[in-house]
Amino acid sequence: MPRQFTPKVVTANRLLEGDAVWFTAQDTWSTDIADAELMTDEAHADLRLLQAQGQADVIAGAYLADAKEGDNGPEPTHFREAFRTRGPSNYAHGKQEQNHV
């Protein structure tokens, strides 16, 4: 029996900086998951992933990640994605420094 589809966002890494980014409904990339397009339809999510992968001059490694609707937009549902929202972990800089995670 096929697994039931759960809401998704498209995520990748920005090619030049390496930052984790999320695909918006406006076909742009944001460093804030709350700006991401949350998709509840599997066919639409697959189409958006293909469109995102077409921006290989901007991003690398696009994939669908589980998410849920939060108070301010999509939120991660898996530890890996929650970790990626906080930025690089090798030393305190960028989002790590701002959030004192």
Tokens 């509840």, residue located: 40
The pTM (predicted TM-score) of the whole model is 0.84
Quote the domain boundaries for residue 69: 8-99
pLDDT digits over 34-91, tens only?
999 999 999 999 999 999 999 999 999 999 999 999 999 999 999 889 988 887 665 5
Residue 33's identity, in one-letter code, is I
**Is residue 90 a part of any domain in this protein?**
yes
Residue 46 three-state SS: helix
Tell me if 2 is assigned to some domain.
no
Structure tokens that stand for 24 in this block: 């918006």
Q: Is the pLDDT of residue 101 over 50?
A: no
Domains held by the chain: number: 1
Q: What are the tokens at 41? A: 């339809």
Q: Is residue 1 part of a domain?
A: no
